Amino acid sequence: MANIKLTGAQVIQEKLLMVNQPEHLEEKQRLLDEITEEEGAPRQTAKVDEYEFLKVMSESDLHSTLLALLPVLSLEEKPSADKCKYLIGT
């Protein structure tokens, strides 16, 4: 379980570093400029949102992160292979 938490923490750190790179902000600004030109709307300035790192995560990255952040407890000491009960996030 400690390994899962470490992996989730590493994914969060990696994505936080990625979204704070100048290249990420430049790409976001380029996309905003394209939308502005197409719609004729006022120009917007790109900024990094508080939860931007979640937007760039893949499904497996998000899975690792949730496992790292949410407590998962087995409700049975010896569950059968086809029937396991867990308490998640409490």
Q: How far apart are CA 90 and CA 77, in angstroms?
A: 18
Task: Check residue 5 and give its pLDDT.
Answer: 61
The tens digit of pLDDT for each residue in 50-82 reads 888 888 899 988 887 887 778 777 787 777 777
Output the pLDDT for position 8: 77
